[in-house]
Amino acid sequence: MRRSVFLALSFVVTAWGLNVVMVKYLVGIFPPLALSATRIALAALLLVPLVWWREGLPRLSRRTWGMIAAAGTSSIFLHQIFLSVGLVHSSAAHGALILGLNPLATSLLAAWLLGERLTRQRLAGIAIGFLGVALLVTDGDLRRIGDIQWGDALMFGAMLTYVIGTLLVRVATREASVLVVSAYSHLLAAVQLGVTALIVDEHPLPPAIGWWPIVVLFASAWVSTALGALLWNWAVRHIGAASTAMWLNGLPATSLVFSALLLDEALHWLHGIALACIVAGVSLGVRGNNGQHPVATPHRGVTKDTPARYRTP
């Protein structure tokens, strides 16, 4: 199972790294909020029928619906608004750095709210991974970290809302399957984004859109967003929010690789040093989780996790 989680998260990091490039390309064509609403709606159109085919119409309690709605609002609806608008106003370097804070924030909040252990080894992994992210996106000049602009503040909001949503997913998947949580959270968020896009006055669509932007849009929605979220939530359920979030240290590196390949951006020796830090940080963070850690349950307080019984996506 651990090998399956490793392969799943490797795919997710790769797909999400590519997705950054795809979204930046699409934002130049589509209005940001309309783009987010369309991407999430397409993802929901793929996931919801899959739920009905695999599990029928599952009966969920009000509490479970509430957790799914909260997870979708935070990790999808609010995250997509901050992300799409933030990428318009923030540089790629600052945006990647702020998103790279995700593992640190997740580990700290998971330890505080869910009782997940914050071991010395995991702390060391966070520090090394964050150093790699910082070097990578600042070109070795760490003094640039303090320059927070309006777009950077929006990217911080994108990071924080995704962290909170990940923790909510961790709780929700104790009461419903990963597929149900992923599908219904995307469906609810698609409605929220659609209403928001109708209310907010954005620039109109171009008079003619070629076939290639449509291909990129569907790839972003179905591969990166739908399948990526499904595998991510599955990993959160299996190894915890904090250990899963450690893999996001690799996101800036994969984004830069795809930017170089697809956008002809130059890479240099500093990227290799930063990538080594990121790989070392992820390795320490994953090894720092022994598979059983105390978690805070709604009715029983802090208990020990038992091996999860779940359907794989």
Question: What is the distance between the alpha carbons of residues 31 and 81, in angstroms, rounded to a whole number?
Answer: 12
Instruction: Report percent pLDDT > 70 for the chain.
Output: 76
Amino acid at 31: P
Closest C-alpha among 288, 299, 242 to residue 124: 288
Instruction: Give 4's Cβ-side CA count (13 Å radius).
Output: 9
Q: Which is more confident, 229 or 261?
A: 229
* Res. 303: pLDDT tops 60: no
Q: How far apart are the first and last CA of the chain?
A: 13
| Residue burial 192-213, b: 16+ Cβ < 10 Å; e: rest | bbbebbeeeeeeeeeeeeeeeb
Distances (CA, A) of 309 to 54, 165, 238: 16, 22, 9
pLDDT value for 37: 93
Please give the mean pLDDT across all residues of the chain: 78
Report residue 288's pLDDT band, with 50, 70 and 90 as the boundaries: low
CA angle 256, 260, 266 (to 5 degrees): 100
Amino acid at 159: M
Of the given ranges (40-54, 156-170, 254-268), which has the lowest mean pLDDT? 254-268
Question: What is the distance between the alpha carbons of residues 191 and 186, in angstroms, rounded to a whole number?
Answer: 9
* Res. 304: pLDDT tops 50: no
Amino acid at 68: I
Question: What is the distance between the alpha carbons of residues 178 and 47, in angstroms, rounded to a whole number?
Answer: 11
* Res. 34: pLDDT tops 70: yes
Q: 119-178, pLDDT tens digit by residue? A: 888 788 778 877 876 776 666 776 666 655 677 778 889 989 998 998 888 888 888 888
Question: What is the distance between the alpha carbons of residues 253 and 94, in angstroms, rounded to a whole number?
Answer: 14
* Res. 265: pLDDT tops 50: yes
Question: What is the distance between the alpha carbons of residues 92 and 268, in angstroms, rounded to a whole number?
Answer: 17
* Res. 17: pLDDT tops 90: no
Question: What is the distance between the alpha carbons of residues 129 and 133, in angstroms, rounded to a whole number?
Answer: 6
pLDDT value for 69: 95
Mean pLDDT value of segment 223-231: 90
pLDDT value for 181: 93
Question: What is the distance between the alpha carbons of residues 200 and 34, in angstroms, rounded to a whole number?
Answer: 9
Q: Which residues sit opposite 304 in a β-bridge?
A: 294
Question: What is the distance between the alpha carbons of residues 132 and 122, in angstroms, rounded to a whole number?
Answer: 15
Name residues whose C-beta falls within 8 Å of residue 123's C-beta, 6 or more positions apart in sequence.
107
pLDDT value for 266: 66
Q: 64-119, pLDDT tens digit by residue? A: 999 999 999 999 999 999 988 887 777 665 566 677 777 777 777 777 776 767 78
* Res. 298: pLDDT tops 50: no
| pTM assigned to the model | 0.76
Q: Which two tokens stand for residue 92?
A: 């790629």
pLDDT value for 67: 93
* Res. 11: pLDDT tops 80: yes
Domain boundaries, the chain: 2-117+143-238
CA 179 to chain centre: 16
Question: What is the distance between the alpha carbons of residues 124 and 103, in angstroms, rounded to a whole number?
Answer: 12
